[in-house]
Amino acid sequence: MYNPYFVGKMAKQSMKRLFNTVILSLALSAATVSAKEPQAEVGGQLPLEELRLFADIFNQIRNSYVDDVNDRELLENAIRGLLEGLDPHSAYLDASSYDHLQTNTTGEFGGLGLEVSMENGFVKVIAPIDDSPAQAADLRAGDLIIELDDKQVKGMSLQEAVEMMRGPQGTKIVLTIVREGINAPFEVTLTRKVITVRSVRSKTLEPGFGYLRVAQFQTKTAEDFRFELEKLKRANKPLKGAIIDLRNNPGGLLQSSIQLADIFLDEGTIVYTEGRVPSSKAVFKASSSEPADTTPLVVLINGGSASASEIVAGALQDHKRALVVGTQSFGKGSVQTVLPLTQERAIKITTARYFTPNGRSIQAQGILPDIEIQRARVQPLNKDGEITEADLHGHLSRDDGEESTSRSRKQNNGNGEASLAESDNQLFEALNLLKGIYLMGQRVPAKAAESE
């Protein structure tokens, strides 16, 4: 699907003036293609020689290309190439792409459930979306899609590849994947369906310890997050700590990420942006209108955590409000402004870079976790043959009126942790760290706490 990364405060009027200036200059250059004398750039800004070259190529295509091509289509292709040549996130949005982008930010769309970008001519997976065909097929951040239904991706634009991956619900598509660590490409068959993104969900991992999964930053994400956090507090009295899972969260709306971080911060910068034009320079600060939530936090990130999710992780890390664990994030630290040109068309253009409160650039670097936890397969050792004191004949009683046996010990210990360790070792380790944070907080001497 098309990446819905768009944020920023670029003034629309100035952008429209710039766009109109370029179009006007192209028109002027087309009228002077035959001029023999070289001319200086207008205002020292626009290279007229290159604009003449563009107009000459445009005319050559109109006159000599094997098929007749509509002038409107040629100009749209030129605009598309102009933007896609800048970086992987700037793009021209025609009616279809613009509609998809607007739909994605509200949370429901059709397709495979993939956040993607273009890298070296191939489609690169940023993250699969929760409860999607892509996640069910175990597609991972960093996978390269080299073929779609036996058609080479090389040479396609990102928009063309995305259009191929979309389709009616229930239809199938075959993706050929290249994955690091696997010697040969392999095929995955996915069945398209309508993807409804549930932005936030929660559950209790163990009594007193909650889990909040943020899949994507949409319009109501912060509001939904508050609701799920309060639900955990009602179910766990007290809520000793919470894990915010931002793994494979590809980002979304800047304002939602700021609002979520603001839940846990009373003051200070959450994120700031810097760009070439004054309107792209902005500082977003925490609000003191409501007291910050003080629940101990661990934030989980990985290589699929990008954009808005990196803003939240970076802000909470810099303010020492949370322990960030997992693996290094994606490093998508640039601001995209969506500028509507008409009711059906827009351009998405990179206008600034993100910086964490401490001045760290997220772009191409990402967020480094405080504690690295690699994804791994954990196999608990079989304890069935262990002998304990409770198994010995004539062992001393517990002196509390209760009888202890090896079986009762195992029932008391339970097997939930072993199951979590096997299914998600990163979450299991994050839970252990959260328990440690809570226990150490309970053991701070009274005098030390007072001095703070």
Cis omega (within 30 of 0) on the bond before 238? yes
The DSSP code for 42 is: B
Pick the closest to residue 334 from 390, 374, 293, 276 (CA basis). 276
307 is catalytic: yes
**With b meaning 16 or more CB within 10 Å and e meaning fewer, what string describes 240-264?**
bbbbbbbbbbbbbbbebbbbbbbbb
| 3-state secondary structure at position 286 | coil
Which tokens sit at 338? 């969506």
N residues, the chain: 452
189 phi and psi angles, rounded to 5 deg: -100, 125
385 phi and psi angles, rounded to 5 deg: -90, 5
Quote the CA–CA distance of 140 and 137 in Å, as a whole number.
9
Quote the CA–CA distance of 347 and 94 in Å, as a whole number.
8
Quote the CA–CA distance of 364 and 259 in Å, as a whole number.
24
318 is catalytic: yes
Choosing from 280, 332, 334, 348, the catalytic residue is: 332
Quote the CA–CA distance of 203 and 205 in Å, as a whole number.
6
Evaluated on CA atoms 167, 168, 173, 175, the torsion sign reads positive
One-letter amino acid at 101 equals: L
Choosing from 318, 329, 334, 348, the catalytic residue is: 318
Which tokens sit at 187? 């095929």
How far apart, in Å, do the first and last CA atoms of the chain sit? Answer: 49
Choosing from 97, 307, 309, 329, the catalytic residue is: 307
Distances (CA, A) of 292 to 203, 287, 300, 313: 22, 9, 20, 16
**Residues identified as active-site:** 307, 318, 332
